[in-house]
Amino acid sequence: MASIAAVAHVEMKTRLHHKDVGSILIIEGSKVILQEPTSHNQGTSIAVKNLFYNVPARRNFLKSNQIELKHVIDEFIHVCLANPTIFFSLHHNGLEIYHLKAGNIRQRIVQIFGKNYNEKLVPIEELTDYVSVRGFIAKPDLTKKTRGEQFFFVNNRFIKSAFLNHAITKAYDGLISDKSYPFYCLFIDIQPNAIDINVHPTKQEIKFEDEKSIYQLLHAAAKHGLSQYSIMPTIDFEHEKEFGNLVDNRIYTEQPFTVVQSKMNANEKTKGSYHSPFDKDIPTHEQNFEQWKKLYDIDEETEEQIVTIRSKMDQIEALENENLFSSHPFKDERFEPVQLHQRYILTQLKVVLF
């Protein structure tokens, strides 16, 4: 605030909750113009006008009004996320842009970014003696093509860190595309003597005493949060078993080389006791190959059926050629349906030639 008051006109009004009268403070270029009691609601309001009025060179480096307003909003959001229990409002040119009621961090996120974020948030919390992590990450379907909704707070101070950002995005491998950026708002609490905040003038870059441990904790917390809420892909062995019963029994009962089937057989033998997939009862690669060969062996019955089917197909083709230019739909009443493997029926369909 002192830096802003040195290059702008600042007006601040404030009142403590246990006081009946508040105070007003007006500063222009670090000079106190007015300081006196005034009536004011509980809390603090700050108005900044004529930024860089006394430093024309700096004023010339300002961008357009829209870009500068975006910078103000970004900083406003950082402060609001770090202090969800405090009411905030932001006004620009007489219009209220934000009206954020006091609440918890989840409510603050929804107030800022929209109601659709509420169902997309995944809470995570990891506590250790050295560092703790808490906050929210988003489900994979809540991603954007541009950055801007990634927030790290260390001891309640907003920071930027490409290294820690990689720890979070790495947890989404296989869930989002390479050029998508998930939302997250995470708070890292650590001992002040384990960090150095004097790295950049904006204080948004800091150095950790043990950055690799922070990385591992963040990555593990994100992975755990995604898996806990059934977002990470899992293998349902019971579902695989049921699916196997729906298809050709010959194929699935002759596949002891699959881990699921081997595990089930072992459990049946030992009445529920678990056997590792690497137990000696599981067939070797050579045995698996023999099982595969059986799937393609043709017995005499099947071979006879194939010959019959080929003969019928030849009859169909010959009759089609005879009736190619006939005005009547093709029909061969002599063709008898053929059953294959007691499961499939090969029959003739009505064909209309145009």
DSSP secondary structure letters along 252-307? HHT-TTSHHHHHHHHHHHTTT----TTSTTS--HHHHHHHHHHHH---HHHHHHHH
210 shares a domain with 124 = yes
Query: Residue 16's domain is classified under what CATH number?
Result: 3.30.565.10
CB atoms within 10 A of CB 137: 27
Strand 184-190, strand 131-138: pairing: antiparallel
Domain that holds residue 122: 114-228
214 shares a domain with 130 = yes
CB atoms within 10 A of CB 10: 23
Residue 121 contacts residue 81 (beta carbons within 8 Å):
no
Does the pLDDT value for residue 72 go beyond 60? yes
Q: What average pLDDT does this structure show over 121-137?
A: 93
Token pair recorded at residue 60: 């010339």
> What pLDDT shows up at residue 194?
92
> What pLDDT shows up at residue 94?
87
> What pLDDT shows up at residue 334?
53
Place of tokens 């904006």: 202
If one counts the domains in the chain, the total is 4
Query: Residue 218's domain is classified under what CATH number?
Result: 3.30.230.10
In a domain, 262, yes or no: yes
Q: Between vectors from CA 315 to CA 312 and to CA 321, what angle results, nearest 5°?
A: 145
pTM over 0.75: no
Place of tokens 């595309």: 177
In a domain, 93, yes or no: yes
CB atoms within 10 A of CB 229: 14
291-305: pLDDT as tens digits: 555 554 555 666 666
Place of tokens 């829209």: 66
> What pLDDT shows up at residue 86?
94
256 shares a domain with 214 = no
> What pLDDT shows up at residue 200?
84
Of 100, 128, 158, the position where a domain reaches its end is 100
223 shares a domain with 135 = yes
Of 44, 66, 100, the position where a domain reaches its end is 100
18-30: pLDDT as tens digits: 999 999 999 999 9
Higher pLDDT, 314 or 83: 83
